[in-house]
């Protein structure tokens, strides 16, 4: 919960191990989630992607940073690629829903938030987004089980 302290620790880790793509991505994502240091976060995740260019997590992080910067088309490109590498991931599907919503495509947003909910029904943010858009959560489990 202490973002400043965690950032300080991760920055020190990066000083000692500048090519640790896991640390670079983790700090970049933490900052993106909190809307902090987005340009530096973008630099860090790009470094992580040089080490592991096909990581769906790293692509999702970069896409999420683009989203936070208001660069929705770039965000969509990265997160669609992440989704193709790791289909069914609840976080990636949620991010796709948010991007489609920002782009004004409510149907696509609902489609992805529903996929996210099906993968992780315990995410209160996704539940709130679906309910705010009039989706009946009671009907979703039956839809999942349908052939």
User: What gap in Å lies between CA 96 and CA 72, rounded to an integer?
Assistant: 10
21: tokens are 């793509």
- Let me know how long the chain is: 147
Q: What is the pLDDT of residues 55-64, one digit of tens each?
A: 999 999 999 9
The pLDDT score that the predictor gives to residue 1 is: 81
Q: Is the pLDDT of residue 143 over 60?
A: no
As given in the structure block, the two tokens for residue 60 are 């999702």
Helix runs in 17-147, H state only: 21-34, 38-51, 56-68, 72-85, 90-102, 106-119, 124-132, 140-145
Note if the pTM is more than 0.85: yes
């Amino acid at each position: 919960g202490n973002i400043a302290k965690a950032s300080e620790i991760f920055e020190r880790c990066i000083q000692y191990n500048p090519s640790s793509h896991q640390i670079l991505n983790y700090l970049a994502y933490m900052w993106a989630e909190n809307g902090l240091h987005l340009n530096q976060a973008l630099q860090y995740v790009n470094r992580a992607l040089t080490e592991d260019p096909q990581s769906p997590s790293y692509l999702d992080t970069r896409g999420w940073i683009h989203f936070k910067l208001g660069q929705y088309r770039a965000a969509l490109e990265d997160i669609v690629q992440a989704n193709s590498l790791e289909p069914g991931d609840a976080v990636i599907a949620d991010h796709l829903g948010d991007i489609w919503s920002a782009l004004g495509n409510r149907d696509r947003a609902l489609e992805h938030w529903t996929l996210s909910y099906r993968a992780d029904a315990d995410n209160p943010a996704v539940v709130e987004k679906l309910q705010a858009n009039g989706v009946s959560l009671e009907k979703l489990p039956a839809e999942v089980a349908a052939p």
